[in-house]
Structure 1
Amino acid sequence: MTEERVERVLAEVHDAFGMIRVLEVDEYRFLEFGDAIEQSCTFTADPAWLEYDYTRAMLIGALCHPLPESALFMGLGAGTLTQACLKFLPLDDVEAIELRPDVPRLAMEYMGLADDPRLYIRIGDALELLPSAESADLIFVDLYTDTGPGVGHLAWNFLESCQQRLNPGGWLVINQWASDDGKPLGAALLRGLYHRHYWELPVKEGNVILIVPADLDQTLDLDALNQRADTLAPELGYSLSTLIKAVRPAS
């Protein structure tokens, strides 16, 4: 007879955008928006552990850069990806933009987000704050609400601006919903915007991670990517090789 998992509500707040709740189940804590819409999962023993394939896939996007020094995160959530990047990459300047002020507060109080001196969090709409953000080697877009992708996911000017904020040799990593045919939501728009010059990584959660270079001359070196991932695997505690095999050119 299996032991029933006990779910505890650790915090619940309401803001202008709805509800935010922190739940604990065994050694995991979950950040939820709205009606049980799970946004983030933290392994309490190691807040930099990436539980979901989509976050591991976004880390793969980060590993496309050989030596990233700066990163910009649009959408913070519990901060697990941010913490993983701070822990495993040679970053010294990280900016995060989060719409809801309670999210970083709850992430620090309950989800293990460390007050790292390299991390600067700004509160506000990513579409409005992007123009004043520093350029970066890595830019991550993960703008989900409790009803699905945020408007930034399919806003041409915003996605174009994200690519333009990259430093030379930089990479833009977008967590995008997949449509029924397995292609990213807005595939036709993305193909036009990025001239079909990007890579896709579908994951089991039903998302497609987009990996977009700063310019058309930049290519994805899969051999170097695999080598970096293999070197990092003992520190991560898991292998990224299976996910890397699923990387494909823009469809």
Structure 2
Amino acid sequence: MSDSETLLERIGDDFGELRVTQLGAYRFLYFGEQTEQSCCLTVDPGWLEYDYTRAMLLGNYWAPAEGGDMLLLGLGGGSLANCLIDHFEPQRVVAVELRPAVIGIARSHLGLTSDPRLKVIAADAQQFVTTTAERFGLICVDLYMEGGLSRLQLQGAFFEGCRKLLKPGGVLVINQWQLAESGQPYASRMLLDLFGDQYLQAPVEEGNIILVVPADGILELDRPAMNGWADALEPQLGYSLRPYIHALRRACDAPAADLS
């Protein structure tokens, strides 16, 4: 939080402190004192300010058009949910958020949509994944706490459970941390053992790395076709997805990292 930001809300829950600040047209959700978790453009709550959230949109290129049910594990401020509702015509978006206080802030301060296609559930992501009978065409995993990655994002069984919730042709998108500047995610060896070396990944400026994993088989990486798709979306999104398409690599083609 900078000196020029105005504090709008400060509340505590069982997991720590939550703060909402405003700077100009932007509002920010902080976990604790330092961790900037979400950013909302108040005049357009579906605007994605962070590179990692924009890169997560790439999963929509492969996700099946029919049966457009999407699952977000981790709601945060709700900008990604808003963007999917506004620009990708889902039949339904289910968002699972561990902290009810985060849901309340997203609704009261960060412009979370009231569109009836969005269903928000206050629940533990692991419990939801292991108990739901629903299936989804697109699943986005973005689970972080004040200290960084949620423990679930380092557990192969959790990701295996997420993948099993995909419909045929569905896509799993994971927001991981990049290991230093290696071009590889944390827990690379576990991810390679789980998904093989053909899944796609794209490092982004914030130090995150986005993984795109198919329900089965191998995702086609056709950059000209993807760029055409991105160009068609750019007028409504207000930014280009081309830089993230350019950054995409198969896991086997990413820079080698020390996995010992």
What TM-score does the superposition give when structure 2 sets the normalisation length?
Answer: 0.91
Aligned to 1:173: 173
CA deviations over 1:190-242 (Å, ceiling 9, x no partner)? 01100112100100000000000110254344333222211110001111112
Aligned to 1:12: 10
Aligned residues: 248
Using the TM superposition, give the Cα deviation of residue 18 of structure 1 relative to its aligned residue in structure 2, in angstroms: 0.2
Residue type of the alignment partner of 2:173:
V
- Range with greater deviation from structure 2 (235-244 or 16-25): 235-244
Aligned to 2:226: 225
SS in 1 for 2:11: strand
Using the TM superposition, give the Cα deviation of residue 142 of structure 1 relative to its aligned residue in structure 2, in angstroms: 0.3
- Structure 1, unmatched stretches of 5+, are none
Tell me the distance in 2 between the aligned counterparts of 1:217 and 1:26.
44
The answer to whether the 8 Å contact 1:93/1:119 transfers is: yes
Q: Is 1:161–2:130 an aligned residue pair?
A: no
Tell me the distance in 1 between the aligned counterparts of 2:118 and 2:146.
26
Counterparts of residues 12-91 of structure 1 (less than 5 Å): 12-65=10-63, 67=65, 69-91=68-90
Residue type of the alignment partner of 2:229:
R
Aligned to 2:257: none
- Range with greater deviation from structure 2 (180-189 or 216-225): 216-225
Tell me the distance in 1 between the aligned counterparts of 2:82 and 2:153.
23
CA deviations over 1:71-114 (Å, ceiling 9, x no partner)? 00000000101110111112011111100001111111100111
The answer to whether the 8 Å contact 2:64/2:169 transfers is: no
Residue type of the alignment partner of 1:116:
D
Aligned to 1:125: 124
The answer to whether the 8 Å contact 1:75/1:96 transfers is: yes
Tell me the distance in 1 between the aligned counterparts of 2:195 and 2:225.
23
SS in 1 for 2:232: helix
Q: Is 1:149–2:149 an aligned residue pair?
A: yes
What TM-score does the superposition give when structure 1 sets the normalisation length?
Answer: 0.95
Identity within the alignment, %: 44
Residue type of the alignment partner of 1:209:
I
Using the TM superposition, give the Cα deviation of residue 64 of structure 1 relative to its aligned residue in structure 2, in angstroms: 2.8
Aligned to 1:241: 242
Residue type of the alignment partner of 1:225:
M
Residue type of the alignment partner of 1:214:
A
CA deviations over 1:154-202 (Å, ceiling 9, x no partner)? 1111100111110111110000001122310011110110011210010
Residue type of the alignment partner of 2:233:
L
SS in 1 for 2:17: strand
The answer to whether the 8 Å contact 1:199/1:212 transfers is: yes
- Structure 2, unmatched stretches of 5+, are 255-260
Tell me the distance in 1 between the aligned counterparts of 2:222 and 2:137.
16
Residue type of the alignment partner of 1:191:
L
Counterparts of residues 198-217 of structure 1 (less than 5 Å): 198-217=199-218
Using the TM superposition, give the Cα deviation of residue 66 of structure 1 relative to its aligned residue in structure 2, in angstroms: 5.3
Residue type of the alignment partner of 2:59:
G
Residue type of the alignment partner of 1:157:
A
RMSD: 1.5
